[in-house]
Amino acid sequence: MNLRNRTLSASGFHSPKRGIIDVLDDVLIEIDAEGVITALHRHGDPNYRTIRDARDASGELVTLPAGFYILPGFVDLHVHAPQYPQLGDALDVPLEVWLQKYTFPLEARYQDDAFARRIYRLLVDDLLANGTTTALYFATIHQEATRALVDICVEKGQRALIGKVAMDNTDECPDYYRDRSTEEALDGTRALIDYVRGHPQNGEGRVLPVVTPRFIPSCTDATLEGLGAVARECGCHVQTHCSESDWAQGYVLARHGMTDTNSLDRFGLLGRKTVLAHANFLTAKDMETVRARKAAVAHCPLSNAYFANAVFPLRAALEKGLHVGLGTDISGGPSASMLENARGAILASRMLQRGVDPNLPATARATFGPAQIDFRDAFHIATTGGGVALDLPVGQFTPGYQFDAVLIDADAEKGTVRLFEDRDKGERILQKIIYTASRPNIAATWVGGSKV
């Protein structure tokens, strides 16, 4: 059902502030013609009954049945759209081998527009069905295929930020898959920005363009510098990989004599609308720089287990006040589900805190320090954190924010959540949803108040 110009009567959860779950028990959410939340009335509010009766009488009230809960739609901060055919595959080698052996050959296939369209349609449908209402996408170097991804997101109604990947360094990019020159990388980036901004069906700006240097190793200095200038000129988002693995970090240290963070910063690529994927090996000073620039980290816990050989210190980053959201990193991470990645973030944090070597005594096993997060933090970064990272009004049910939401059917017979009335109440219901829900539990997804 379309919820524009409607008032929704529902229960659910959101987490505008880290560490706190706001339990929405039988609330009224008023949504305007643009899909923006204009008011939230709680059951005990003095005007609750009057408003409910008025909306009911005018036919604007939509009431959800018991057993259904709304959550803010998930914000996936790191997706490689062209890698979807590789999801759950090719996880056997390190990053630098994986790129050359599996990933570049796959991405090169997107010079075929028909192939691109087929894969991108499936991906966007699957992500929406998984409750991902906003996705920050890396596409490929190709203009036509990347435009197809824009068209498909516009058509299907997903909020999407999409970048034509820039990669022109002949030392690190194969001949069959790279921008031929700095000029081609920059012109292609500008052309995609123009295409997205001039798209006739993108009037609401649901799809946004992103300046996307793949990572420092893939790009020449001239391209990095040029992209910094494009980002400044167009004021758009920036995404790249940052300090992901020992190899990637070491490569930048050897080539530029500084960390990824410092190098990106001097090229003008570190700003309020920058999202750094992974960022596992940030130094304390790097973290300070990322915080000062108000840039964000896309935490990709599943991918990090395969390609980073390290755990991103999420809790430390959050406590330092960095903007952090959650990413699947399809296909570096083998799951397209933000719920599974939320669980991965919790699991990884606990292993980082306790240590993992069974040959060490318990007292000597923990070497890192406080790292543990819980379902509240995981839910927060999957929703509000992503919205803050992107500087977009999404991820929470607060007046002024877009009504981007997932409907969880906690009683779905084929689903994987089992609630027991006598024991599952309040935020414990959300905890069970985070830990056990799966696609059959996702009954509907809305973006900007429209069902998608």
User: What is the residue whose two structure tokens read 């609750």?
Assistant: 48
* Pick 128 or 302: Cβ nearer Fe ion: 302
Q: Which residue is nearest to ligand GUN (CB)?
A: 332
The distance in angstroms from the start CA to the end CA of the chain is 10
Give yes or no for a contact between 187 and 213, defined as CB atoms under 8 angstroms apart.
no
Q: 355 — phi, psi (to 5°)?
A: 85, 170
Question: Can you tell me the distance from the alpha carbon of 294 to that of 290, in angstroms, rounded to the nearest whole number?
Answer: 6
Q: Where does residue 100 fall: left (phi above 0), alpha (psi -120 to 50 degrees), or beta otherwise?
A: alpha
Least distance from Fe ion to the Cβ atom of residue 215, Å: 8
Site map for Fe ion, 18-47, x if CB under 5 A?
A: ------------------------------
Please compute, for residue 10, the number of CA atoms within 13 A of its CA located in the half-sphere on the CB side.
24
Binding of ligand GUN by 215 (CB under 6 A):
yes
Least distance from ligand GUN to the Cβ atom of residue 286, Å: 17
Site map for ligand GUN, 379-418, x if CB under 6 A?
A: ----------------------------------------
Of 7, 9, 103, 349, the residue at the interface with ligand GUN (CB under 6 A) is 103
Please compute, for residue 26, the number of CA atoms within 13 A of its CA located in the half-sphere on the CB side.
7
* Pick 147 or 241: Cβ nearer Fe ion: 241
Question: Can you tell me the distance from the alpha carbon of 30 to that of 245, in angstroms, rounded to the nearest whole number?
Answer: 45
Footprint (CB under 6 A) of ligand GUN, residues 227-256: 241, 244
Footprint (CB under 5 A) of Fe ion, residues 296-355: 329
Give yes or no for a contact between 352 and 261, defined as CB atoms under 8 angstroms apart.
no
Site map for ligand GUN, 298-337, x if CB under 6 A?
A: -----x---x---------------------x--x-----
267 makes contact, choosing from Fe ion, ligand GUN, none, with CB < 5 to 8 Å by partner type, with: none
Q: What is the DSSP string of 176-238?
A: TSS-SSHHHHHHHHHHHHHHHHT-TT-TT--EEEEEEE--GGGS-HHHHHHHHHHHHHH--EE
What Å distances lie between residue 254 and 33, 155, 216, 246, 295, CA to CA?
54, 44, 12, 12, 24
Binding of ligand GUN by 214 (CB under 6 A):
yes
Least distance from Fe ion to the Cβ atom of residue 297, Å: 13
244 makes contact, choosing from ligand GUN, Fe ion, none, with CB < 5 to 8 Å by partner type, with: ligand GUN
Residues that bind Fe ion (CB under 5 A): 277, 329
Residues that bind ligand GUN (CB under 6 A): 80, 95, 99, 103, 214-215, 241, 244, 303, 307, 329, 332
